[in-house]
Amino acid sequence: MEMWLKEEQIESAAMTYKVKETLVRRKTDFQDLAILDTEAFGRMLVLDGIVQTTINDEYVYHEMISHIPLFTHPNPKKVLVVGGGDGGAIREVLKHPSVEKAVLCEIDGVVVEECKKHLPEISCALEDPRCEVFIGDGIKYVHEHKNEFDVIIVDSTDPFGAAEGLFGGSFYKEIYECLTEEGIFIAQTETPFYLPEVVKSVFSDAKAVFPVTKLFMAAIPTYPSGYWSFTVGSKKHDPENADLSKTIDISTKYYTKKLHKACFSLPKYVEDLIK
């Protein structure tokens, strides 16, 4: 008998994946968690029926959400990742030798626990001595740490349920205060094809708080439409004009210095959306 995962995040469309084996299925205090082994994408983390990351395409998301802000900041030493319990963003952050401390603030400890067991390729840096894992509410954590982080990465699930409060102007104001003088924040901000109003609203909220606000795109096969947006908010530094001439070379599969600049060239429909 064949087994298939059908993801119905978008009401008018669905994505399906052939499943070889269910490795974990748990109901946590916050969500329904599954780790599946699939034919096309290898092992994948699924929360409330929605694919979060997979072994075969995770590098796109984690590299772009991490290296764009870290190569834009002139000297990032302290980084906060809100969400991201799989550890992929932390892995990429710690490729930067300037980083002295990276804090992972994840509300659901079960995500961290199961990803360490079943997705070690992604979670491998969570044991790095520079990494601190804090299990708790990211909104509360940001509120309690003023002027502390050089870069904040909001690696959240979609804007409903446990992650709903991680989208919107009030949280972005808290992030602004949590950042240092040259601080930069980045968030995944959904698909402009299926959820244009979410992209428009989040970009507008960030722009109302940060002097420099930019949106860029990346191609992620397992996310609805395969074309995903990220929003950067910065106090001083424009990621599109970052001086990359003296940055170190790091091991990547998707991010390049040329792509760092090119990803901010948007299709017209996306440009029109955020005007």
Instruction: Give residue 182's pLDDT.
Output: 98
Residues tagged in the binding site annotation for S-methyl-5'-thioadenosine: 31, 106, 137-138
What CA–CA distance (Å, rounded) separates 19 from 41? Answer: 10
What is the pLDDT of the chain when averaged over all its residues? 94
pLDDT tens figures, 188-240: 999 999 999 999 999 999 999 999 999 999 999 999 999 999 999 999 999 99
In the chain, where the domains are located: 3-54, 58-274
User: Could you tell me whether strands 32-38 and 149-155 are parallel, antiparallel, or unpaired per DSSP bridges?
Assistant: unpaired
Place of tokens 């959820």: 195
Just list the catalytic residues: 155
pLDDT tens figures, 253-269: 999 999 999 999 999 99
Q: Would the CATH topology of 3-54 be identical to that of 58-274?
A: no
Q: What is the pTM of this model?
A: 0.95
DSSP-derived letter for residue 207 is: H
Per the DSSP assignment, residues forming a β-bridge with 179 are: 149
CATH superfamily entry for domain 58-274: Vaccinia Virus protein VP39 (3.40.50.150)
User: Could you tell me whether strands 149-155 and 179-188 are parallel, antiparallel, or unpaired per DSSP bridges?
Assistant: parallel
Residues tagged in the binding site annotation: 31, 62, 86, 106, 137-138, 155-158
Place of tokens 């599954």: 34
Angle (nearest 5°) at CA 168 between 165 and 171: 65
pLDDT bucket at 163, cuts 50 / 70 / 90: very low
Instruction: Give residue 167's pLDDT.
Output: 53
User: Could you tell me whether strands 179-188 and 15-27 are parallel, antiparallel, or unpaired per DSSP bridges?
Assistant: unpaired
Cα 255 to Cα 173, 210, 231, 260: the distances in Å are 29, 25, 16, 7
Contacting residues for 275 by C-beta, under 8 A, at least 6 apart: none
pLDDT tens figures, 108-135: 999 999 999 999 999 999 999 999 999 9
What one-letter code names the amino acid at 210? Answer: F
Are 32 and 62 in contact by the 8 Å Cβ rule? The answer is no
**What is the topology classification, in CATH, of domain 3-54?**
Spermidine Synthase; Chain: A, domain 2 (2.30.140)
